[in-house]
Amino acid sequence: MLAGYEERRAAFEEQGARIIAASVDSMENTLALAAPLGFPVGHGVTRADADSLGAWWDDNRNFIQPSEFILSRSGKVMMSTYSNSPIGRMEPEETLTLLKYLNAQRQKQKAQAPPPARD
């Protein structure tokens, strides 16, 4: 999945988006995972981190289930997914399509907004 985001990273950047990922893995394992990627990947995600995100922590396997977010520039959650399987995750192409849609809607709103009042 991360490779798919890397393949489309330039297109995400064209939409004004940055990609950030994180893992429960150790720093050493995460560095190996992140080596071919051009975006940051955090390591050592804990249960407290999962709880702060409202994500599901799998006690049997001791890791966070996939949790994905699209944030606005101000940090507002625009969309999120929480999954305990590969189904329902934010696929890179679908996520890019959603960002293009959100940006197009923002441009329409700007174009339709009345000009500011002059004194």
The domain spanning residue 76 has which CATH number?
3.40.30.10
Residue 115 lies in a domain: no
Q: Report the pLDDT value the prediction gives residue 54, as an integer from 0 to 100.
A: 84
Is 114 a member of any domain? Answer: no
In a domain, 36, yes or no: yes
pLDDT (0 to 100) of residue 16:
94
Evaluate whether residue 117 is within a structural domain: no
pLDDT at residue number 33:
96
pLDDT of residue 53: 85
Domain residue limits at 14:
2-109
Question: What's the pLDDT score for residue 73?
Answer: 86
Q: What is the pLDDT of residue 5?
A: 97
What's the pLDDT at 6? 98
pLDDT profile of the chain (119 residues), mean per 10: 96 96 95 97 94 88 88 88 82 95 93 82
Residue 26 falls inside a structural domain: yes
Report if residue 50 sits inside a domain: yes
pLDDT at 17: 95
pLDDT of residue 83: 84
- If DSSP states are collapsed to H, E and C, what string results for the chain? CHHHHHHCHHHHHHCCCCCCEECCCCHHHHHHHHCCCCCCEECCCCHHHHHHHCCCEECCCCEECCEEEEECCCCCEEEEEECCCCCCCCCHHHHHHHHHHHHHHHHHHHHHCCCCCCC
Q: Give how many domains the chain has, as a whole number.
A: 1
